[in-house]
Amino acid sequence: MNNLGELVVGSIEEQAEQIFANINAIIETAGGTLNDVVKLSVFVTDMANFEAINNVMMTLFSEPYPVRTTVEVSALPKNAALEIEALVNIKPHKQG
């Protein structure tokens, strides 16, 4: 979804980029970065989109890559083609 709460329409790459921008904004608000992502759960309605989504991910993450599961589902809310869940481990800042 974009900043207006509307589902992004367009290519699967554009949808993935928007989802990761949203995930990144949430992580940054909590004091982390995408480097703190330890696991991604990717839900797609068409497994043929796997490579395109993977290509977007390769531009955003570096080694060691987060663990990932990708599952093809029959449908997603709002007829979305893609949903991504991120598990993040943000280490607390030491004081002193």
**What tens digit of pLDDT does each residue of 22-62 get?**
999 999 999 999 999 999 999 999 999 999 999 999 999 99
Does the domain spanning 12-88 belong to CATH 3.30.1330.40? yes
Share of the chain above pLDDT 70, in %: 92
Helix H or strand E encompassing 95 = none
Distance CA 90, CA 55 (A): 25
